Amino acid sequence: MVTATHCPYCALQCGMTITATGTDITITPRTDIPANSGGALCQKGWTAAELLTNGERLTTPLLHGRPVAWDTALDYVADRLTAIRAVHGPDGVAVFGGGGLTNEKAYQLGKFARVVLGTSQIDYNGRFCMSSAAAASLRAFGLDRGLPFPITDLAETDVVLLAGGNVAETMPPFVRHLTGPRLIVIDPRRTATAKLAWLHLQPTPGTDLALALGLLHLVIAEGLVDEDYVAARTSGFEQVRTSLASWWPERVERVTGVPVGRMREAVRALASARRAAVLTGRGAEQHAKGTDTVTAFINLALALGLPGRPGSGYGCLTGQGNGQGGREHGQKADQLPGYRKIDDPAAREHVAAIWGVRPEELPGPGRSAYELLDALGTPQGPRALLVFGSNPVVSAPRSAHVTERLDALDLLVVCDIVLSETAARADVVFPVTQWAEETGTMTNLEGRVLLRRQAVPAPEGVRSDLEIIRELAGRLGHRFSAEPREVFEELGRASAGGAADYAGITYERITEETGVFWPCPSPDDPGRPRPFLDSFATPDGRARFVPVEHRPAAEEPDDDYPVYLTTGRVLAQYQSGAQTRRIAALTKAAPEPFVELHPDLAEQLAITAGDVVRVLSRRGESTGVARVSDTIRRDTVFMPFHWEGANRLTNPALDPSSRMPEFKVCAVRVEKVA
């Protein structure tokens, strides 16, 4: 059987063809999908078939670690949920979703939480990824679609500024879209991506916001503002201009460590480009001031007249496979399908009607991801948690504490394909189908809705997340569909009229048109590849400049913890590693956690490459093998977060508006393990 589908991993959602002959499964790149045009794949994509044949696959439900029949496990969970709700109320039960889930699952999970469980306590790991960029985009444009233009537009630009993104490792085929423009990379590390750059700005961790302010100051000072654009298409510039008088480049240099001369080069290149794009990644976003940092980069893009102009723009690089769709359809604490706000009466009325309930029955906004995890098992917090498509023991900040909270629950239920670190602590584990064993839609980083088709039969004994939701809903007195196409049709109706309107999208259209861009309100609507060309989604159609101020990281180095820690990804692993750490070729390429540090710091600490080193923060400690490299700043160490450990160190200080934790900077001490 030959099936055209997409990669199981990142938001690029490279097209791939799966050829299955019995147990022999081969993967070849598709050439019709723009994201991986020319038939590119990285090692993760090429080896993805191993996910399907992996020996560690779960195929029976586990109850307290023992294999049990499906009905036994489902009955147990339903009974316990009922009992816990009876004692602690609906908010005694919580749901934690993931940005890798299909649109159908994300939608159904949100509906299940609000309608069946009646709980406000639902959030998802996308809070740890996209929330800051989302909040900033909504604030500026009234709409959050990661790239508000097709990815292929990038090849036509003259200059791309990439703030805090390492695409050469996180989504390698993306680099093929960057061979045309001059690339400016902002990163505390000279990453694989920074090495490809025409100009690399290497700021102190936690100072991207100051750097963005300095760049915009220079744009204004050097008379490079696109005044016509600012007058015609934006509001609020004067306030921003005033706020920037305090951020002259020499001051920014002292805060960031980026030389004024380099800032000038960046600004002049951007301003002289006919077409240019400003992009942000998690490096700029995963901060307690991530929303303001993205806003500062959006302000820069607006002053240069980029957003909403053909071939130019601002965009964020969504991380997880369905990081875009996952943030649109209601698994977020404050949200209803179609990117609607849960506290908006009109939104509640519309969605309640689709769901067949009264608007007042829908709960209000709940806790954000970290706040939810932090509250588990506390007197005011939930007593039960259902986890879908997430591994917070590895991926949450201050993870040792989060693990304690998970252990304090009366009931932890985890749906996963393997016994992840989180699943290993669960009372009940449901083994589920994965990517090529099921069908569903994914919305990639461009906002293009794609169809991931079933290519192989699921192993005996596993069920889909949708089936588990249907079974639990049924036991709790509600009828839910587990048929992806039916769920997608309902999602379309629920999203109709919302910002992320999928009403006109069908599986057939996706197939015929190789994906459909949202918003697509009706069957005859072509979708909007570039939604901002005529106007922005704000009430007056203008993009909003918002003045923002730099402030230090929530935790700066001091005598006890003198070094910055920043975290990120490596090419051969993905997210919490639950999938990729079980694939031979990938573990060979990236076998273990490491600590990257500068030769000068290594010398000072008497550490040599290959030593096992301990990294300590106020929240915990972790070890890794020392990698000594002059690609990192002297004052900073880097750890990949694919293994349990790095996040024991990270700081859960939250962004006031997006509730994003400060993954990208905290203070640590590094020592050699004797």
Partner 1 sequence: MRLVVVGNGMAGSRLVGEVRARDPHMPVTVFGAETWQPYNRVLLSNVLAGSSGPDQVRLLDPSWYASHGVEAVFGTEVVRVDRSAQTVITADGRSTPYDVLVMATGSEAIVPPVPGAELAIPFRTLDDCHRILAAAEHGRRAVVVGGGLLGIEAARGLAGRGLPVTLLHLAGHLMERQLDAEAGLVLGETLTGLGVDIRTGVTAEAILEEGVRLADGELVEGDLVVLACGVRPMTALAKESGLSVRRGIVVDDEMRTEDPAVFAIGECAEHDGTVYGLVAPAWEQAAVAAEIITGGKALYRGSRLVTRLKARSVELAAMGETHLTEEHAEVVRFTHRARGTYRKLVIRDGRLVGAILLGDTDAVGTLTQLFDRGGPLPGDRAGLLFPGLGAVTVADSPVLMPDAAKVCQCNNVTKGQIRACWEAGARDVAGVAAATRATTGCGTCRDAVEGIVGWLCEQEGISA
Residue 199 touches partner 1, criterion: CB under 8 A = no
Quick check: helix, strand or coil at residue 297? helix
Nearest to 27 by CA among 446, 583, 543: 583
Q: Which residues pair with 161 in a beta bridge?
A: 184, 278
Name the H helices within 13-116: 43-46, 50-53, 70-88, 103-111
Count of residues that bind partner 1 according to CB under 8 A: 57
| Of 382 and 577, CB closest to partner 1 | 577
| Of 196 and 612, CB closest to partner 1 | 196
Pairing assessment for the beta strands 428-431 and 440-443 based on DSSP bridges: unpaired
Q: Which of 132, 137, 204, 299 binds partner 1 (CB under 8 A)?
A: 204
- Taking CA atoms, 385 is separated from 77, 392, 395, 408, in Å, by 11, 12, 16, 11
Residue 242 touches partner 1, criterion: CB under 8 A = yes
The Cα–Cα gap between 397 and 395 comes to 7
| Of 253 and 467, CB closest to partner 1 | 253
Residue 198 touches partner 1, criterion: CB under 8 A = no
Residue 176 touches partner 1, criterion: CB under 8 A = yes
Pairing assessment for the beta strands 313-316 and 276-280 based on DSSP bridges: parallel
Residue 552 touches partner 1, criterion: CB under 8 A = no
Question: Which listed range, 39-47, 62-70, 428-436, 492-500, lies at the site for partner 1 (CB under 8 A)?
Answer: 39-47
Residues in 553-572 at the binding interface with partner 1, rule: CB under 8 A? 562, 571-572
Question: Which listed range, 244-252, 267-275, 323-331, 406-414, lies at the site for partner 1 (CB under 8 A)?
Answer: 244-252
Q: Which of 173, 290, 308, 492 binds partner 1 (CB under 8 A)?
A: 173
- 62-63, strands of its sheet edge to edge: 66-67, 62-63, 428-431, 411-416, 384-388, 93-97, 122-124
Question: Which listed range, 234-242, 322-330, 463-471, 480-488, lies at the site for partner 1 (CB under 8 A)?
Answer: 234-242
Neighbouring residues of 199: CB distance < 8 A, sequence distance ≥ 6: 182, 183, 184, 185, 262, 265, 266, 269
Residue 46 touches partner 1, criterion: CB under 8 A = yes
Residue 165 touches partner 1, criterion: CB under 8 A = no
Question: Which listed range, 414-422, 477-485, 581-589, 666-674, lies at the site for partner 1 (CB under 8 A)?
Answer: 581-589
Six-digit token string for 488: 């997608």
Residue with tokens 């949200």: 335
Question: Which listed range, 5-13, 153-161, 628-636, 665-673, lies at the site for partner 1 (CB under 8 A)?
Answer: 628-636
Nearest to 344 by CA among 314, 361, 364: 364
| Of 529 and 599, CB closest to partner 1 | 599
Least Å distance, CB 537 to partner 1, is 27
Question: Which listed range, 165-173, 475-483, 511-519, 538-546, lies at the site for partner 1 (CB under 8 A)?
Answer: 165-173
Six-digit token string for 96: 């934690």
| Of 193 and 368, CB closest to partner 1 | 193
Q: Which of 114, 139, 233, 241 binds partner 1 (CB under 8 A)?
A: 241
Residue 261 touches partner 1, criterion: CB under 8 A = yes
Angle at CA of residue 357, ends 94 and 119, nearest 5°: 10
| Of 192 and 424, CB closest to partner 1 | 192
| Of 117 and 171, CB closest to partner 1 | 171
Q: Which residues pair with 615 in a beta bridge?
A: 622, 670
The Cα–Cα gap between 347 and 334 comes to 12
Six-digit token string for 469: 């939701």
Question: Which listed range, 164-172, 303-311, 315-323, 400-408, lies at the site for partner 1 (CB under 8 A)?
Answer: 164-172
Residue 169 touches partner 1, criterion: CB under 8 A = yes
Pairing assessment for the beta strands 335-336 and 340-341 based on DSSP bridges: antiparallel
Residues in 389-428 at the binding interface with partner 1, rule: CB under 8 A? none
Residue 272 touches partner 1, criterion: CB under 8 A = no
Angle at CA of residue 669, ends 666 and 674, nearest 5°: 145
Residue 595 touches partner 1, criterion: CB under 8 A = no
The values of phi and psi at residue 602, to 5°, are -60, -45
The Cα–Cα gap between 308 and 533 comes to 4
| Of 386 and 667, CB closest to partner 1 | 667
Binding site for partner 1 (CB under 8 A): 29, 38-43, 46, 167-169, 172-176, 179, 190, 192, 196, 204, 220-223, 238-239, 241-242, 245-246, 248, 250-251, 253-254, 256-262, 562, 571-572, 585, 588-589, 599-601, 603-604, 630, 634-635
